Amino acid sequence: EKDVERALTLIENNTDVDKTDIHGFSPLMYALRKRLFEVTKRLIGKGSDVNIQNKNKETALHLIVKVKHGQVEMVERLIKAGADINVYNNRGEWCLDIAVKSSSPNTCILELLLSNGAKVNVKDLKQFTPLMWAVKNNNYDMVEMLIKVGAEVNFFNQYFDTCLHIAVKSQKPNMQAIECLLANKADVNIVDWEQKTPLDKLVKTEIAMKLINHGSDVNFVNLSGKTTLMLASEKDLENLVQPLIEKGCNVNAVD
C-alpha cells in the first residue's frame, strides 16, 4: 500500500513516467508486473508510452497478457491508449501467442485481442501459429475462436507438423479440437518432415477412424516402409485392424 502511495505521489509530481531502467523496463511495466493497477491507470492517464519495449522486446501488453489470470480491464486500457497488438518479442512471440500459451488462458483476453486487429496467422521462431499452440494445449474454446476468425488449419511448423499432426499425437487428444479441424478442411494426408501423415501418428483407434472417414490414405507408406496396418499392429491397436482391412488396406504389403 505504501508503494502505491509513493508511486502515485511521484507521478503527480511530474516524474518522468517513461524513464526505463537498465533492463528497459518502464514504470508502467513494473506497475503491471506487480499488479499495481491503480498506479497503472494513473500512468496511462499521464500519457505513459504503452509501446516501450524492454531488452526482451516485450511491451506492457506482452507483460499483462502473460500475467496469470491476466486482467481484461488492463488489456482493454492499454489497447485504448494505443498499444500495438501486432508486435513480437525476442522469442518471436506475439501477444496472441502469449494469450494462448498462458498457464491460465483467458478467452476474454483472446477475444479482445482478436476484435482489435490481432493478426491470427502469425508465426513465432518455431514457426508455430497461435492455433497450433491452442491445439497443443488442448484448448478447444480457443481453437474454435481462432478458426472462426480465419486461422489457417494447414500451416506447418519447423517440423512440418500441421495442427492435425499436433492434435493426434497428443498424450491426451482433444476430440472436439480434432473434429473442429477436420470440419474446417484440415488435410488428412499432408506429411511432416519424417514423411508421416497424421494417421501415422495415431495413438487411439477412435481418432484413427475419424481420419480414415475423412479420406486418410490407408495404404500410405512412410519413410520406414510402414503402412497404417503395420503401425496399428505394432501399437497393439487391434480394434483398428479389421476396419483398415475393410477400408481396403493392403494386407500383403511388406516393409
pTM, full prediction: 0.89
| Pair 80, 169 in one domain | no
240 burial via Cβ count (<10 Å: 0-12, 13-18, 19+): buried
Helix ranges (DSSP H) in the chain: 2-12, 27-33, 37-45, 60-66, 72-80, 95-101, 107-115, 130-136, 140-148, 163-168, 175-183, 205-213, 228-234, 238-246
Q: What is the mean pLDDT of the chain?
A: 88
CATH number at residue 181: 1.25.40.20
243-253 pLDDT per residue, tens: 888 888 877 76
Quick check: is 193 in a domain? Answer: yes
| Pair 81, 159 in one domain | no
Mapped onto helix, strand or coil, the DSSP state of residue 82 is coil
End-to-end CA distance of the chain: 70
**Last residue in a domain, options 85, 107, 139:** 85
What are the phi and psi torsion angles at 251 (to 5°)? -80, -10
Q: How many domains does the chain have?
A: 2
Quick check: is 112 in a domain? Answer: no
Beta bridge partners, 88, equal 94
The pLDDT-based confidence of 145 (bands split at 50, 70, 90) is very high
Q: How many whole angstroms separate alpha carbon 14 and alpha carbon 114?
A: 35
172-191 pLDDT per residue, tens: 888 999 999 999 999 999 99
Quick check: is 244 in a domain? Answer: yes
**Last residue in a domain, options 28, 61, 85:** 85
Please give the C-alpha separations between residue 43 and each of 20, 36, 112, in angstroms, as whole numbers. Answer: 14, 11, 22
Containing domain of residue 4, as a range? 1-85
Quick check: is 106 in a domain? Answer: no
58-77 pLDDT per residue, tens: 999 999 998 766 589 999 99
Rounded mean pLDDT of 196-210? 83
| pLDDT at residue 69 in the model | 63
Quick check: is 69 in a domain? Answer: yes
